[in-house]
């Protein structure tokens, strides 16, 4: 079952990429007491993710925060080292990188995807959501191959 507006996020271990190295975090702790703009990409360094998805949230970070977002986070079925390097190369300090290396979070919210046809294995669908104190307030899931409703611009228009 796919997560919906009003649902509480499952309590899953993620790995946050930090300057000091990977830091394990429980999703219940990470999302507690704050409003988070979370977006997910099929993979770091992939074309749409690198050219449009991450850059959009970097460019719109101040506008999102002005609309009440406390933190912006990106998740992907990649390891924390890859996400950290991608953020250093293309992102900003405004974006927290939450690695879902085994896809456990993607599976638990029903937004996992099989990219085996592209040699990428199990991944996450492309989406964005607003999570307030662990509860989904807004969710925007892309159709396969699309990029429109998971963008920072779309999220801003819904806030």
Query: For 22-51, how does the pLDDT look when each residue is reduced to its tens digit (9 = 90+)?
Result: 999 999 999 999 999 999 998 888 877 777
Reduce the DSSP state of residue 37 to 3 states and report it: strand
User: Model-level pTM greater than 0.75?
Assistant: yes
Domain boundaries, the chain: 13-158
Q: Which residue reads 């993620």 in tokens?
A: 14
Angle at 70 between CA 127 and CA 6, to 5 degrees: 50
What pLDDT is recorded for position 51?
74
Q: What is the CATH number of domain 13-158?
A: 3.40.30.10
Torsion-angle region of residue 28: left (phi > 0), alpha (psi -120 to 50) or beta? alpha
Confidence (pLDDT) at 121: 67
What is the pLDDT averaged over residues 123-146?
94
Q: What is the pLDDT of residue 116?
A: 77
Active site residues: 49
Query: What are the helix (H) ranges across 18-159?
Result: 27-30, 47-48, 54-59, 61-66, 80-90, 104-108, 152-158
Interatomic CA distance for residues 149 and 96, integer angstroms:
21
pLDDT tens per residue, range 63-118: 999 999 999 999 999 999 999 999 999 889 999 999 999 999 999 999 998 877 77
């Amino acid at each position: 079952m796919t997560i919906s507006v009003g649902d509480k996020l499952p309590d899953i271990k993620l790995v946050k990429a930090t300057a000091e190295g990977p830091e394990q975090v429980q999703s219940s702790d990470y999302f507690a007491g704050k409003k988070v703009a979370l977006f997910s990409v099929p993979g770091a360094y992939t074309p749409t993710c690198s050219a449009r998805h991450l850059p959009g949230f970097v460019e719109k970070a101040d506008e999102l925060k002005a609309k009440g977002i406390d933190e912006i986070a990106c998740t992907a079925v990649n390891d924390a080292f890859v996400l950290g390097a991608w953020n250093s190369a293309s992102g900003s300090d405004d974006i927290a990188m939450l690695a879902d290396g085994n896809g456990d979070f993607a599976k638990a919210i029903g937004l996992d995807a099989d990219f085996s046809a592209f040699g990428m294995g199990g991944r996450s669908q492309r989406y964005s959501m607003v999570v307030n104190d662990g509860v989904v307030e807004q969710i925007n899931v892309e159709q396969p191959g699309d990029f429109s409703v998971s963008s920072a611009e779309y999220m801003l228009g819904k806030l």
